[in-house]
Amino acid sequence: MTPSTSSAITLNINGEKHTLPVDHRTTLLDALRERLDLTGTKKGCDQGQCGACTVLIDGRRAVSCLQLAVAAEGREITTIEGVADGDRLHPVQQAFLDLDGYQCGYCTPGQICSALAVIEEHAAGWPSAVTADVRPEAGVPQLTAEEIRERMSGNLCRCGAYVSIVEAVARAAQVQAAEAAQGPSAGTEAAA
């Protein structure tokens, strides 16, 4: 008896559960784009080097072209389609729009998903390769342009919009920090 090479899996994507049969070799990227019509996540190099397919899995960034769909079962997956709150753009999306953090837009969904994780990682005090003082007592490092460039280095932009991307990530981090300081009702009041 030959073991089966396919299974029915349930993926939790953007807060919705999707059950679908997949070949065990299907990447998360192909399941998103070809099986679920979530085409915001882009296929770039298909080798995990460009970052165009970046999504969040349990809040951490992952290149979906290297992630098997079966391995993502039971995890929280966020794609670019799940970032906004209804018609209200996420601060990262708004900053990319306001500061022209895109040109052709192909890499933008992956850039935005990566930026969401960068801001969370930084706020949690995670050091990067350019963090000068990594001792816990040093506290959260300042989110400088150098820190942002290093933390976003897994996402390539063929158009070269890097200066605007760095500015957009910095602005979004400031907006999110201000909203967090005002409390949970701040985002609701701003949307009203």
The rounded percent of the chain whose pLDDT value lies above 70 is: 95
Domain coordinates in residue numbering, the chain: 6-82, 91-191
Read off the pLDDT of residues 142-154 as tens digits, 9 standing for 90 and up.
Answer: 999 999 999 999 9
Is the pLDDT assigned to residue 159 strictly greater than 50? yes
Q: Mean pLDDT for the chain?
A: 93
What is the model's pLDDT at position 192?
A: 43
3-state DSSP of the chain? CCCCCEEEEEEEECCEEEEEEEECCCEHHHHHHHHCCCCCCCCCCCCCCCCCCEEEECCEEEECCCCEHHHHCCCEEECHHHCCECCECCHHHHHHHHCCCCCCCCCHHHHHHHHHHHHHHHHCCCCCCCCCCCCHHHCCCCCCHHHHHHHCCCCCCCCCCHHHHHHHHHHHHHHHHHHHHHCCCHHHHHHC
Residues 6-82, CATH architecture: Roll (3.10)
Q: What is the pLDDT of residue 185?
A: 61
48-54: average pLDDT:
97
Does 6-82 match 91-191 in CATH topology? no
Long-range contacts of 4-8 (CB under 8 A, 24+ apart): 7/70
Q: What is the pTM of this model?
A: 0.91
Indicate the class that CATH gives domain 91-191: mainly alpha
Tens-place pLDDT, residues 99-135: 999 999 999 999 999 999 999 999 999 999 999 999 8
